[in-house]
Structure 1
Amino acid sequence: MLAQRMERGTGSGHMDIKFTNRLSYKQARLTVLVGFILGTLLSLIQIGIDYASEDASINREMQALLEISHNTASRIAYNIDSELAKELTGGLLRSPAITRARLIDNNDTVLADVQRPRQESGYRVISDFLFGDSRQFKDRLALSHMPDEYLGTLFIEVDTFAFGSRFLNRAEVTLLNGFVRSLVLTGILLALFYMMLTKPLVRVISALSTSNTRSPSQNKLTFPPGHEHDEIGVLVKVANQQFVSMATEIQQRRNAENRLTDYLNELENIVSARTNELKASNTRLSQSNEELEEARSRALDMAQARAAFLANMSHEIRTPLNGLLGMIALSLDSPLNAEQRQQLSIAHDSGKVLVELLNDILDLSKFDAGQLELERIPFDLGALVEDTANLLSQNAASSVELTCLIDPQFPALVLGDPTRVRQIVSNLLSNALKFTRFGRVDVRLKHTGSVHLEVRDTGIGIPQEAQVRIFQPFTQAGAGITRQYGGTGLGLALTNNLCEAMEGRLSISSEAGFGSQFIAELPLPCHTPAIAPQQLQGKVVAISNASSGLAELLQTLLPGWGLDYIRHDSVETLADAKPDLLITDNLHGLFGLRPAIQAPILLVTAYGNFLPGEQAANLAPLQQQARPLARNALYQALRRTLLGSDALSPSAQADNLTNERRAHILLVEDNPVNQLVAKGMLAKLGCEVSVAAHGGEALELLETSSFDMVLMDCNMPVMDGYEASRRIRQSGRWPNLPIVALTANAMPEERERCRAAGMSDYLAKPFRREELLALIEHWVPLTPT
């Protein structure tokens, strides 16, 4: 009824406010809600205190009952009177809380045991949860003048529901009282808030709704009685002020509208003129778009032409280059005098540089076309770094110390693309050796979840302003660099692209005149952890500068191999040292060691700087090895010297098996020079070779002879290698015969074309004997004789 009266008091029409949206209702609701929550919490606290009291009273009342019955039960147990015992337990059972009473004597004889069913009720579950369904009490019986003599025990079992029902009744009354108080408080607060807040506000709203917005200056609200100085009075005062402001603003807007009308007329004239200008601009833009489309079409045609040119260039250059390098390699295996061997070696190295340059150009074109493919196979990165450094050490100045410092815990195998990683190592190391004339070039390798490859040199360095463009193709640090040191500027650009393709990163730290440091972070996971070599025993003494790469290498490796290692700066400081092996890279004073020190000597020198026979004989027993000193070569030298073992190393055993290999190879090649090169290489590998000039001859030879593998050139007259391979596979007679493509086309689509024709593998010309050996080892099983 109160709500209905308040609804009628708000007036009628569109300004009516829903009851639940009124401030009085919201204020009362919030106040009652807080009061209800606080009242409920207080009621719960009171109930909790009552619960604790009731729980304690159960134990207290039962203990009191046991104390009252103690003397009587003790005399009954002493006299062993069953009749009195039944009367006593029956009397205890009259208590509404006790459901069982039992009296036994000191011999555990039951004198009386009475019980009755417990009371059932719907509230029993709650009572049992709070107090437990029952409790047991016992009293040890003894006479007052004989307190230490045990006479028996009085047991009683209490049904807690008698107490729990009493507690639940009180809790129910407490909660109902709190709820009723909240309802009464709600009604009182609702009426008060309506009279003090909602009713005057509704009067102000009604006055505002009936005011004339067209003439705000004529509207003035009156103050509700008794609210001249509170918030409602302030609201009326502010509303009256707003009416005055609105009147002023309306007049200002009318003036602005008049001015705006004038501006619109001017704007129409301006828009008309600009529209004509835009039409002319659109015409010129259309012409520009047509010109851009033509330029794009020409760029695409040029890109296709460049790709075709690179493919043709690759084929045309690689074919004669394969014959050139192959013939030189075969000539180097024949008896030559020193001058001839040097000349042929220079020619062979120059040819390899030409091949590397051609590969760099083709790789850059693959990056541009997005066609670079990466392998993911296990390989020995440590050995790869040492092999690459050993090959490039021939280009190092004799005054430069090249050292490979590989972490002893570096994995034996990692997963990745060995060919691309070799390119990264080769380009970084070639760059360091090219610009270093004195000092050190170090290659450091470690694995911290990913491969950390660092190449550091003491060369000319790179100025800070040149480092920002050093990774751009065909760019070097300065114009004078190309004239003085040579090079195309492709190496670092390709290396940076390869690192990014592997999701790695290449960084540089350098200062002009103080050397450079290149760090390649490559995410190559570990495939096989490091394998610890067999431990050695002995004393090894090194004569080397503390800052030398040899000293750092020996300090890193030898203690881990079980050797006692000591370093001296010079021969003069050896004193009474009695080493099992002496390692040095310093010839100063070395010839004065004999005969005082008879230990074998391992001399580490630059490539091509070995001691001649007479000088070497004066230092016998002497071993000489070129820098950089590989881990396996050092270990084998130590093993032979300290253990007296002449057993072949694993790599030497592999070479022996290679020499014993016997395989019958069908070479399908139309170029006579390339035939001679391939036959010479295969003969060196112990293979028997049959030659076919085109695919038709190859099919005829397959009909009459058995072959272990086919080396198939792709571009030949009569029948090319693609067609010949397809016919071999379609015949079904040689399903497992390995067919390896020999092609001068090194573009990526060529590999897919060969696989589509049924070929098993791919070898780009010019190829090295090591690459040919790897293919034969992969596809043809070893057959030692």
Structure 2
Amino acid sequence: MLEQRKETEVAHPPMEIKFTNRLSYKQARLTVLVGFILGTLLSLLQIGIDYASEDASINREILSLLEISHNPASRIAYNIDAELAKELTQGLLRSPAIIGVKLTDNNGTVLANVKRPSVESNYRVLSDFLFGANRQFEDRLYLDHLPNESLGTLRLSVDTYPFGNRFLRRAEVTLINGFARSLLLTGILLALFYVMLTKPLARVIRELSSRDPGSTEQTALECPSGHAKDEIGVLVKVANQQFQNIATEIQQRRNAENRLTDYLGQLENIVSARTTELKSINARLSQSNEELQIARSTALDMAEARSVFLANMSHEIRTPLNGLLGMIALSLDGPLTAEQQQQLSIAHDSGKVLVELLNDILDLSKFDAGQLELEHIPFDLGALVEDTANLLSQNAAPSVELTCLIDPHFPALVLGDPTRVRQIVSNLLSNALKFTRFGRVDVRLSAFDEGVRIEVCDTGIGIPQDAQVKIFQPFTQAGAGITRQFGGTGLGLALTYNLCEAMQGRLTISSEAGFGSQFCADLPLPSHTRPMPITPLSGKIIAITSSSSGLGELLSSLLPGWGLDYQRRSIDDPMIGVEVDVLITDCPECLFNLRPTISAPILLVTAYGNFMPGEEVGALAPLQQQARPLARNALYQALKRILLPDAHTGNEASLEARSPQRRGRVLLVEDNPVNQLVAKGMLGKLGCEVTTAAHGAEALDQLELKAFDLVLMDCNMPVMDGYEASRQIRRSGRWPQLPIVALTANAMSEERERCRAAGMSDYLAKPFRREELAALLDLWIPATTAP
């Protein structure tokens, strides 16, 4: 019982509430504070009005005094009576506010001048701040019948303190009265709030604190008299309702505890049954996991088998392709008729299409297997775009103008994977050229804060909106009729889209059927080197092109930055008497009409296969021809040759004197006779002395007999393959600096790593072009200058 009483005392603390915490005090304090602020503001408003009235009364009283003294002072000044003047000034000085009077005649003679000191007081500073220390008043003296004739002046010096003191006394009384009213209001409100609010609430609190919340039998609280319908009465009603709810809830909980005891016994039985069921489920899950493990192993084996199949397929297809393309390339260099030249060129282009198709399939398989690796090296993206466009320009229709529009401020070098970027440009450009029969195809290159933007715009057939969502899927084109009319496999755009995503970039399309397409690739390729400054040129350049010509847009963006005076004219504009240093045009038909009227050199830009024959060039001389798409450096060098002929001739002579001649000895290790002939023919035309070996063991024997500058090593050969031969060459230690370049038809990414692990220095995938082989020789065989 003692512990229960202590718990009750703790649960119900004493009901004494501090005076400052009572609601009556808080309400009275808030009300009085608001009343005090409002009363103070009203008092200040009243004082302000009184201040303005008092300030005006100073001027009124002094002006009235001057008005009264005007006539006597005027007569005194007229008669020049000093005694009367002194009496008048002494009389004015009796006014409490007047501290100085000065009367002068019209000649400036002082008739009377009296002064007395100002009154000193503690309120003096405040009065001077509000009204000023003193004020000066002056009245011009004249007679009523002669108002324009000045007789003199009457000057009064007024001390504002009497007026200020009177104002400050009134303000003090006003503030004291307001403060007294606030104190009286505080007391009255405090008493009323205590009787009306605090006292009945305290009674209700005492009754609540005396109750036991755990009791199920509760009597209702009594409502204080006079408060049945206000907030206190509502509080009592709510408390009674809560007490009733608590009692009901306690009874319900006791009933629930009884039911819970019954449920516990039933729950034990249910848990036992569930445990048995879970054991059975676990056994079935274990069996399912074993089946999944078997399925996973099967999937991994199938993936490995696919990789092996792709590697074998790459090797088996590329090996005959290398021989086919190599032999055709060698045949094209020999004496052929025009028909034979055309037939072999078509066969060579068809073989290149097969290689590109094979590369696309292998790249897609790398994406699926997650094996695509990206380089991060500096390269010239502008030159890459121009080179790619130049290679693909042969695919353009005769009436299609291909133009490379590169921002003049584009970086000289960017960081990224040049091979994959070339694939993106090549696929987008090939796609545009394939579906464009008339108009223009533009490749635009620009830089932004986070990378570069490659745009390929065409005026081709366009892509309907419903087909744009599926053209990035493998083996898919806009429609079945597209494949029948234009051909293609549908791999290019899918591969391009995957490459952009692999580079953390984005490929978007904007197209409308019948109005061309615009593909935009935003790639995060950071700038590595800013644009290199070029030697400025001087001269006047006129271009004769149509308004929709891509050549005109290219020239307008480049020539002003090179220091040239550039103008564009249409074909119909007269050229008689026009002074020009170079004339640039893409209209061969208008040259014969232009040459009689202009003697300046002409630069003709046209498709590669539409060059003028020699006899026509001689008739139009001086004439130079450039193939489109016109590259920036080609245009600059052509203009430099024309505008600075002496400097260019000297440079050419020095360059020819320093032209490199290769004298390399190459060991070609290749088991395929056709590939031996292809590689040997290419190397011979590149100035190399070639020795062949059919397998790795024979290559080791050749190395013992002769010294070589480079070894071209095929990987898959009988007797001894290229991997083992390379490992033995490196282990011997006799040829540590000898470069070994792998020749393999396996284009999978792991093949390169396998070659490097075997000790090979570089890698060249079959089929390879003569340009690729020449670049490899430039890298590994030092060139010597001809004597």
Q: Same fold (TM over 0.5)?
A: yes
Q: 1:286 to 1:734 in 2, by over 3 A?
A: closer
Residue of structure 2 equivalent to 1:727: 728
Asked whether the 8 Å contact 1:470–1:492 carries over to 2, the reply is: yes
For 2:481 and 2:14, the matched residues in 1 are separated by 88
Question: For residue 557 of structure 1, what is the amino acid of its counterpart?
Answer: L
> Per-residue deviation at 1:430?
0.1
Residue of structure 2 equivalent to 1:548: 549
**Equivalence map 1:535-684=2 (5 Å):** 535-645=536-646, 647=648, 660-684=661-685
Asked whether the 8 Å contact 1:399–1:437 carries over to 2, the reply is: yes
Question: For residue 610 of structure 2, what is the amino acid of its counterpart?
Answer: N
Asked whether the 8 Å contact 1:24–1:197 carries over to 2, the reply is: no
Q: 1:606 to 1:207 in 2, by over 3 A?
A: same
2:310 aligns to what SS in structure 1? Answer: helix
> Per-residue deviation at 1:242?
2.6
Residue of structure 2 equivalent to 1:16: 10
> Per-residue deviation at 1:615?
2.8
For 1:454 and 1:276, the matched residues in 2 are separated by 67
Residue of structure 1 equivalent to 2:358: 358
For 1:470 and 1:489, the matched residues in 2 are separated by 8
> Per-residue deviation at 1:489?
0.6
Asked whether the 8 Å contact 2:605–2:627 carries over to 1, the reply is: yes
2:461 aligns to what SS in structure 1? Answer: coil
Asked whether the 8 Å contact 1:389–1:404 carries over to 2, the reply is: yes
> Per-residue deviation at 1:660?
1.1
Residue of structure 1 equivalent to 2:716: 715
Q: 1:455 to 1:337 in 2, by over 3 A?
A: same
Asked whether the 8 Å contact 2:667–2:693 carries over to 1, the reply is: yes
**Equivalence map 1:77-156=2 (5 Å):** none
For 1:647 and 1:610, the matched residues in 2 are separated by 24
Residue of structure 2 equivalent to 1:203: 206
Question: For residue 625 of structure 2, what is the amino acid of its counterpart?
Answer: Q
Asked whether the 8 Å contact 2:412–2:531 carries over to 1, the reply is: yes
Asked whether the 8 Å contact 1:20–1:26 carries over to 2, the reply is: no
Structure 2 residue runs of 5 or longer lacking an equivalent are: 30-193
Are 2:780 and 1:779 aligned? yes
Are 2:327 and 1:333 aligned? no
Q: 1:451 to 1:25 in 2, by over 3 A?
A: farther
Larger radius of gyration: 2
For residues 105-161 of structure 1, the C-alpha deviation after alignment (integer angstroms, 9 at most, x for no partner) is xxxxxxxxxxxxxxxxxxxxxxxxxxxxxxxxxxxxxxxxxxxxxxxxxxxxxxxxx
Question: For residue 764 of structure 1, what is the amino acid of its counterpart?
Answer: A
> Per-residue deviation at 1:316?
0.3
Greater shift after overlay, 679-688 or 283-292? 283-292
For 1:201 and 1:655, the matched residues in 2 are separated by 115
Are 2:401 and 1:407 aligned? no
Question: For residue 667 of structure 1, what is the amino acid of its counterpart?
Answer: L
For 1:692 and 1:256, the matched residues in 2 are separated by 97
1:389 aligns to what SS in structure 2? Answer: helix
For residues 11-41 of structure 1, the C-alpha deviation after alignment (integer angstroms, 9 at most, x for no partner) is 632451597999759949xx99xx9xxxxxx
Q: 1:762 to 1:201 in 2, by over 3 A?
A: farther
For residues 36-71 of structure 1, the C-alpha deviation after alignment (integer angstroms, 9 at most, x for no partner) is xxxxxxxxxxxxxxxxxxxxxxxxxxxxxxxxxxxx
Q: 1:651 to 1:389 in 2, by over 3 A?
A: farther
| Percent identity for Structure 1 against Structure 2 | 72
Residue of structure 2 equivalent to 1:739: 740
Residue of structure 1 equivalent to 2:313: 313
Asked whether the 8 Å contact 1:411–1:527 carries over to 2, the reply is: yes
Q: 1:400 to 1:268 in 2, by over 3 A?
A: farther
CA RMSD of aligned residues (A): 4.4
Q: 1:460 to 1:654 in 2, by over 3 A?
A: farther
Q: 1:239 to 1:389 in 2, by over 3 A?
A: same
Q: 1:699 to 1:689 in 2, by over 3 A?
A: same
Residue of structure 1 equivalent to 2:68: none
> Per-residue deviation at 1:574?
2.1
**Equivalence map 1:51-70=2 (5 Å):** none
Asked whether the 8 Å contact 1:543–1:570 carries over to 2, the reply is: yes
Q: 1:654 to 1:748 in 2, by over 3 A?
A: farther
For 1:443 and 1:333, the matched residues in 2 are separated by 32
For 2:673 and 2:409, the matched residues in 1 are separated by 50
1:431 aligns to what SS in structure 2? Answer: helix
Asked whether the 8 Å contact 1:584–1:603 carries over to 2, the reply is: yes
Q: 1:551 to 1:508 in 2, by over 3 A?
A: same
TM (norm. structure 1) is 0.70
For 2:298 and 2:336, the matched residues in 1 are separated by 55
Residue of structure 1 equivalent to 2:420: 420
> Per-residue deviation at 1:363?
0.6
For residues 73-129 of structure 1, the C-alpha deviation after alignment (integer angstroms, 9 at most, x for no partner) is xxxxxxxxxxxxxxxxxxxxxxxxxxxxxxxxxxxxxxxxxxxxxxxxxxxxxxxxx
Asked whether the 8 Å contact 2:666–2:688 carries over to 1, the reply is: yes
Residue of structure 2 equivalent to 1:370: 370
Structure 1 residue runs of 5 or longer lacking an equivalent are: 1-7, 36-191
For residues 169-202 of structure 1, the C-alpha deviation after alignment (integer angstroms, 9 at most, x for no partner) is xxxxxxxxxxxxxxxxxxxxxxx9xx97997576
Asked whether the 8 Å contact 1:211–1:219 carries over to 2, the reply is: no
Q: 1:25 to 1:648 in 2, by over 3 A?
A: farther
For residues 623-655 of structure 1, the C-alpha deviation after alignment (integer angstroms, 9 at most, x for no partner) is 222211111111111111122248489999999
Q: 1:249 to 1:209 in 2, by over 3 A?
A: closer
Residue of structure 2 equivalent to 1:432: 432
For 2:280 and 2:484, the matched residues in 1 are separated by 54
Asked whether the 8 Å contact 2:743–2:765 carries over to 1, the reply is: yes
> Per-residue deviation at 1:331?
1.5
For residues 725-755 of structure 1, the C-alpha deviation after alignment (integer angstroms, 9 at most, x for no partner) is 1111111222222111111111111111111
Residue of structure 1 equivalent to 2:190: none
> Per-residue deviation at 1:587?
2.9
For 1:581 and 1:341, the matched residues in 2 are separated by 36
Are 2:759 and 1:758 aligned? yes
Question: For residue 209 of structure 1, what is the amino acid of its counterpart?
Answer: D
1:531 aligns to what SS in structure 2? Answer: coil
1:735 aligns to what SS in structure 2? Answer: coil
Question: For residue 12 of structure 1, what is the amino acid of its counterpart?
Answer: K
For 1:649 and 1:424, the matched residues in 2 are separated by 40
For residues 529-564 of structure 1, the C-alpha deviation after alignment (integer angstroms, 9 at most, x for no partner) is 111221112222111012110110111111111222
Asked whether the 8 Å contact 2:660–2:783 carries over to 1, the reply is: no
Q: 1:495 to 1:25 in 2, by over 3 A?
A: farther
Residue of structure 1 equivalent to 2:348: 348
For residues 714-734 of structure 1, the C-alpha deviation after alignment (integer angstroms, 9 at most, x for no partner) is 111111111111111111222
For 2:507 and 2:663, the matched residues in 1 are separated by 45
For residues 398-457 of structure 1, the C-alpha deviation after alignment (integer angstroms, 9 at most, x for no partner) is 100000011111111111111111101000000000000000000011122311111000
Residue of structure 2 equivalent to 1:499: 500
For 1:23 and 1:776, the matched residues in 2 are separated by 102
> Per-residue deviation at 1:586?
1.3
Residue of structure 1 equivalent to 2:62: none
Q: 1:658 to 1:757 in 2, by over 3 A?
A: farther
Residue of structure 2 equivalent to 1:456: 457
For 1:784 and 1:681, the matched residues in 2 are separated by 21
Length, aligned pairs only? 617
Q: 1:277 to 1:13 in 2, by over 3 A?
A: closer
1:461 aligns to what SS in structure 2? Answer: coil
1:471 aligns to what SS in structure 2? Answer: coil
TM (norm. structure 2) is 0.70
Are 2:564 and 1:533 aligned? no
